[in-house]
Structure 1
């Protein structure tokens, strides 16, 4: 099916239009040019039997093959990015691999009572967010570093209202009534950087494997500016070489490099703790007359499990965070389902 036909369907079909936009873009790309790793992830608080705060999110991501696989090709965006940004720490070292991740992400935030059509000034406001990002990753067996660019929108043009209505219809949940009160419309832009490192990993072929990883990241944008760090422990058989994204925010692409490189079948369970400092958030500065007051320090924890087999990986993560709103002490919980596969 061609891209124009898909876009025509997006105007009339009940599914979120941004999904059709992504599929239309992919439909116009030759299969040989799309070799790499794909990921789709879905965040929802229904997975933890709650419905408030950060209520739903989705991300579609594509990671190119490593530039080092075919460094002499005429159209190697990852190689050009590596060579042009080798002045950045962690980029361009001999023996490391480099790849570009393209990602489209949509997030939505709602108050606890979604049956009311009136503004609820004592709770979090309705907010929708949509962005696209481009990240250059550099990694080896022990660490990974990435630098990214973010461009997007907050407000009605994010399409969050339509997506949530579709998801709630699909799951038989209560239809949200307050989207007419959402905040925004604004353009979003920013930069981000990540680094993660393994402390240790037991060798393969010795039964159960253990590993412990540490990670940190910084995001500077006009939607949110934060710094975060965390620690993750993983146990399993035939572990892949990826870096588990428990502490890197919603639907991160941090786990893509190395996620499908373990031959055969394997499984893993993992747990992590972390925290973040948030000196600025759009929700705090543009939510008047709502009483939302951004908590500058947020703690989080999560547990998860994964299964992989010959180029495919599926994961489930359950997360909990302290309240991002100082006026509301209730913690937030949500789950993430993700599937990753290599082309």
Structure 2
């Protein structure tokens, strides 16, 4: 397939697909940007950078007005007395690198260079104590993702250590992914007259040739009007919820902590084809934790979080890895 050798053409194709999906002006209500980067821990390596550009329709009572690309996806939900529904799409580029990016030779005992570019659709239903979400994505991992050009540009601007090993990255392969997540409230309590805290549990499952895994976790939140934003947080990479739709005029806020553990069956960033003999193997048992803060107004919101996770491959000498996520949304 010719386009796989041209990252620019694939990027344009993904953007065009997103614009086609968002050609429903009354539905494309929230736009959002997110940046993931490991600069917060002061080192390169492992998951290095991510960029999200997407939109979501503001909450509706049902899927009657949903465009056709989302019609089949809503059927993946279990029946529930939902209060509102949402749908959306995003373009997501991510990259992974070895710990030492200044080397211009292969590093068979470190994770390989890898980049992925995905176009993803999303639907979800929400109530004050139960939420269901699912995602379907199509993408490409390898040189066609454009990750090499992105990292070289960012490191040239910052300035940071120039990456010199991208010629040894995971080779081109199309990816298909389907993910499902359900959140269930355990309890919610008043802290003050104007704030609450709550504890909930969730399960997140992902199937596809890029990654397949199953996770269980819990979420602890403290803030105002938590029932109105229940389930908006997600374990799904790159997902950003709706907070402006239920925010107060003078602003709403919440802080949270999440933790999960699970089993990963496959991972193309570890076991994908590379042009050399690699001796790394996927580490199946996985754990992840995050903490963050969200500040929202009726027309915009911003969030910051810090994510940590256990090693994804063997032999990895590090006990954990981390990165920060900065997200911003605005309502049209």
**TM-score bracket for this pair, using the shorter chain length:** 0.7 to 0.9
SS of structure 2 residue aligned to 1:32:
coil
Match of 1:118 in 2: 105
Contact map agreement 2:58 2:242 (CA 8 A) in 1:
no
Match of 1:266 in 2: 252
Where does 1:97-246 land on structure 2 (aligned, <5 Å)? 97-202=84-189, 206-239=193-226, 241-243=229-231, 245=233
Q: For the aligned residues, what is the CA RMSD?
A: 3.0
* Segment of structure 1 superposing worse, 29-38 or 53-62: 29-38
Contact map agreement 2:70 2:123 (CA 8 A) in 1:
no
Pick the aligned partner of 1:275 from 250, 261, 264. 261
The Cα of 1:154 is off from its aligned counterpart by: 0.6
CA distance in 1, matches of 2:296, 2:186: 23
User: What TM-score, normalized by structure 2, do the two folds share?
Assistant: 0.85
Pick the aligned partner of 2:67 from 77, 84, 88. 77
CA shift in 2, pair 1:28/1:121, >3 Å: closer
Pick the aligned partner of 2:45 from 39, 52, 63. 52
Structure 2 unaligned residues grouped into runs of 5+: 1-6
Q: How big is each residue's C-alpha offset from its partner over 1:62-83, in whole Å with a ceiling of 9 and x where there is no partner?
A: 1123443794x5xx327972xx
CA distance in 1, matches of 2:299, 2:221: 20
User: What TM-score, normalized by structure 1, do the two folds share?
Assistant: 0.83
CA distance in 1, matches of 2:172, 2:298: 44
CA distance in 1, matches of 2:114, 2:63: 43
Structure 1 unaligned residues grouped into runs of 5+: 1-9
SS of structure 1 residue aligned to 2:43:
coil
CA distance in 2, matches of 1:174, 1:302: 27
The Cα of 1:279 is off from its aligned counterpart by: 1.3
CA distance in 2, matches of 1:260, 1:298: 34
SS of structure 1 residue aligned to 2:31:
strand
Match of 1:310 in 2: 298
The Cα of 1:329 is off from its aligned counterpart by: 3.4
Match of 1:68 in 2: 61
Match of 2:3 in 1: none
The Cα of 1:221 is off from its aligned counterpart by: 0.9
CA distance in 2, matches of 1:258, 1:86: 21
How many positions carry a matched residue from both structures?
321
Contact map agreement 1:40 1:61 (CA 8 A) in 2:
yes
CA distance in 2, matches of 1:41, 1:207: 29
Contact map agreement 2:82 2:126 (CA 8 A) in 1:
no
Contact map agreement 2:224 2:253 (CA 8 A) in 1:
yes
